Amino acid sequence: MNQGFKIDVPSFIWFVDGGEAKILVDTSYGDPALMSKWHYPCARSKDQEIANALKSVDCTPDDIEMVIHTHLHWDHCWNVDLFRKATFIARREEVSYAIAPLGIHAVVYDAPTIGRKPGWLDAKYEFVSGDKELIKGVSLIFTPGHTPGHQSVVVETDAATYVIAGDAVPLYENLNGTPFSKYTATTHVNAQQWWDSAEKIMEIAEVRERILPGHDLEVSKKKQYP
C-alpha cells in the first residue's frame, strides 16, 4: 500500500521493567552519519540517544540485565557496547544467517561478507530455541519469515498481554486485510513462515492494540504500556 510515498520510520527500542529483570528489546541503529552513508538518511536527537532515553525512565545502560534482539538487521542491533553487564539473547538461526546471508540480504545485515563489521558482532549471545519463558511474565516466541531467526517478545502485565513484534509486524498496516488477503505482506525471506508468524502473534495478542510493531509511529503515542 501507498508505494512511492516517503514516510519517517522510527527505530524503536523497548524497555521492559517491573518484573524480575530490566530488559531491553532491540538496540536501534548505529552512528547516524555512518548509517546514512550505508543505508537511508538517519537522524537522532539528544533525547533519543539510548543512554538519555533510558535516563528518562530512571535507568542507565549498566542497569540493563538482558538485551533481546528480535533480529539482526542494521536498524535493530547496534550500540551493544553500551550494555556491559547485560546478557544478549538471539536465535542461532539468525546469527548464522547474518554472518553470511544471501547476497541480496547482505546490505541489510551489514554482513561481514561485504566487508562490514555489523553492530551486533561483539555481542556474546545466549541462544534460545522454540518458545521460551525468560522470566515470569516475559517470554520469547519464534516468529520467522521476515528473517530466518526472527523472534518476538510477549509481555504479560497486570492490564493485558502485549507482543513486541519486531519486524514480524513492522506496521499496523500489515495487519489490514485486502480483498485477496488477510494480511498485507511485509518483506520476508519466507512467505509461509511470515504468514504463520503473523497468525501466531494475533492469536496471542487477541486484539490489534496489544501488538507493538517494529516501525509504526502510532505506538509512540503512548509513553508507556500498562
Identify the CATH number of the domain in which residue 183 sits. 3.60.15.10
- Asked if 101 and 136 count as a contact pair (C-beta separation under 8 A), the reply is no
Is 223 inside any structural domain?
no
Average pLDDT (18-24) is: 93
Structural domain range at position 169: 14-216
**Residue 117's pLDDT band (boundaries 50, 70, 90)?**
very high
Is 226 inside any structural domain?
no
Assess whether pLDDT exceeds 60 at residue 215: yes
Rounded to an integer, what is the distance from CA 214 to the centroid of its chain? 6
Is 6 inside any structural domain?
no
Is 9 inside any structural domain?
no
d(C-alpha 135, C-alpha 137), whole Å: 6
Locus of grid cell 544467517: 97
Task: Give the whole-number percent of the chain exceeding pLDDT 90.
Answer: 89
Is 161 inside any structural domain?
yes
- What's the pLDDT score for residue 3? 63
pTM over 0.85: yes
Assess whether pLDDT exceeds 70 at residue 1: no
Which CA distances in Å does 83 have to 4, 62, 123, 129, 156? 38, 6, 10, 23, 24
Average pLDDT (40-68) is: 97
d(C-alpha 39, C-alpha 46), whole Å: 21
Average pLDDT (65-92) is: 98
| Domains: count for the chain | 1
- What's the pLDDT score for residue 142? 98
pLDDT digits (tens, 9 = 90+) for 138-195: 999 999 999 999 999 999 999 999 999 999 999 999 998 777 889 888 899 999 999 9
Is 114 inside any structural domain?
yes
Assess whether pLDDT exceeds 60 at residue 2: no
